[in-house]
């Protein structure tokens, strides 16, 4: 039995144990996890304590419950979505084109009330903020406005984002567990239009994406693309 954490509540100890087993590959997508009765006996706690840990992981879409069958490691739904989570540098290189980036902002910021709510942390929690423009064959195709949970990527500010993209770094240090996203067409504010070298009257395709790792919100990113030369595509 894994050792109990004398600081964390019992349900958190169980939750951490389940996450560790999933992240290590002991339990893979579609695998059944031990029953609540087995976990209660393993950790010498009540079924109610185990139920809370399992319920939270189910809400976070890491586990899925099937009535009358059991609890299973959830499928990574982001793998079947329209937008594949990969580095824009790899995307550009796969087309045989040259990628480069311009770093406009890289700083630590205390979470505002709004950001704290989005990241599910306390107001003032340390976040990292980066603003990067990506170019394909010297044409600006994306402004990446990213907020990062410092707990999950503590060395974010030390990265050289002219040689590595934020996505490449984050995938390595905070393995993806889930993602929510939306896409809209909007007119860009002047600052974004200037970075993309387009008119503020030219519509952009904007991808809003929130990712999760280790049962926490890892990043919140808004990516602006000039509508005239960019499209999203995928297959199901």
- Residue ranges and CATH numbers for the domains of the chain are 10-75 (1.10.10.10), 78-229 (3.40.1410.10)
CA 169 to CA 83: how far, in whole Å?
19
Residue 81 has pLDDT above 50, yes or no: no
Closest CA to 120 of 50, 180, 169: 180
- Phi, psi (deg, nearest 5) at residue 90: -65, -40
Residues pairing with 133 in the sheet: 102, 143
Mean of per-residue pLDDT scores for the chain: 86
For the stretch 178-215, pLDDT in tens is 889 898 899 999 999 999 999 989 899 999 999 999 89
Can you give the pLDDT at residue 229?
Answer: 62
Largest Cα span, the chain: 64
Distance CA 198, CA 63 (A): 44
Q: What is the dihedral of CA 20, 22, 25, 28, to 10 degrees?
A: 170
**Per-residue model confidence (pLDDT) at position 236:** 40
> Is residue 54 helix, strand or coil?
helix
Q: Using CA atoms, how far apart are residues 189 and 43, in angstroms rounded to an integer?
A: 54
Q: What is the pLDDT of residue 15?
A: 92
Helix or strand (DSSP H, E) at 28: none
At residue 230 the predicted structure's pLDDT band, cuts being 50, 70 and 90, is: low
Rg (CA), the chain: 20
Residue 7 has pLDDT above 70, yes or no: no
What does the alpha-carbon distance between residue 165 and residue 194 come to, in Å, rounded to a whole number? 21
User: Residue 225 and residue 21: Cα distance in Å, rounded?
Assistant: 39
CB-neighbour burial class of residue 66 (10 A; exposed 0-12, middle 13-18, buried 19+): exposed
Q: Of 66 and 136, which is predicted with more confidence?
A: 136
Does this model's pTM top 0.85? My answer is no
- The three-point CA angle 179-80-85 to 5° equals 50
Q: Name the nearest CA neighbour of 19 among 214, 164, 153.
A: 214
Percent pLDDT > 70 in the chain is 88
Neighbours of 119 (CB within 10 A): 21
Q: What is the pLDDT of residues 136-187, one digit of tens each?
A: 889 899 999 999 999 999 999 999 998 889 988 998 888 888 889 898 899 9
């Amino acid at each position: 039995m894994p050792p109990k954490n004398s600081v964390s509540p019992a349900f958190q100890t169980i939750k951490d144990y389940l996450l560790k087993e999933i992240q290590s590959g002991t339990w893979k997508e579609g695998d059944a996890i031990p029953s609540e009765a087995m976990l209660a006996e393993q950790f010498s706690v009540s079924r109610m304590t185990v139920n809370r840990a399992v319920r939270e992981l189910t809400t976070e879409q890491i586990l899925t419950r099937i009535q009358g069958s059991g609890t299973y490691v959830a499928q990574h739904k982001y793998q079947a979505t329209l937008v594949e989570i990969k580095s824009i540098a790899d995307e550009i290189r796969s087309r045989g084109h040259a990628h480069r980036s311009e770093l406009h902002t890289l700083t630590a910021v205390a979470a505002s009330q709004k950001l704290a709510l989005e990241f599910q942390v306390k107001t003032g929690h340390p976040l990292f903020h980066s603003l990067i423009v990506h170019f394909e064959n010297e044409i600006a195709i994306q402004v990446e406005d990213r907020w990062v949970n410092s707990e999950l990527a503590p060395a974010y500010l030390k990265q050289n984002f002219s040689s590595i993209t934020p996505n490449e770094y984050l995938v390595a240090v905070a393995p993806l567990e889930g993602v929510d996203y939306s896409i809209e067409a909007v007119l860009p504010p002047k600052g974004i239009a200037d970075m993309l070298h387009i008119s503020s009257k030219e519509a952009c395709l904007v991808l809003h994406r929130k990712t999760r790792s280790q049962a926490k919100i890892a990043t919140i990113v808004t990516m602006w693309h000039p509508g005239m030369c960019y499209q999203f595509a995928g297959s199901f």
